[in-house]
Structure 1
């Protein structure tokens, strides 16, 4: 199980990169998908950070998740 959680950092990184690309779109729908996928990457990083007891990383990801939720709300207006 530890090995699987250790490997989780790679999909988390890939989703983070994809999210960064999507939120740069001029289309509102793509930006919303980008913010939602950023939230997925936040969750993946939190799981990985919890396993490694990386509390600063977890705190950062929670804060970033809040900004991503704000991005979704502001994007819909």
Structure 2
């Protein structure tokens, strides 16, 4: 199974009417030797996640970093 791992940092979190919180994440670019490696070898881009789940939303704090793993769904389903 092929997995691509990236590392992203929460840039901002906004809250809309109705309690929807939206986290905006960007790839790490510096700050540690690990981040330098991720910046050099993994995909770039943006991630925007929205949730009304307070426990999930609490995880997304500006400045916090996350590993993001991309596994093809068709390969993951074969393992089931």
User: What TM bracket, shorter-length normalisation?
Assistant: under 0.3
User: Could you say which structure has the higher strand fraction?
Assistant: 2
Larger Rg: 2
If the length of structure 2 is used for normalisation, what is the TM-score?
Answer: 0.21
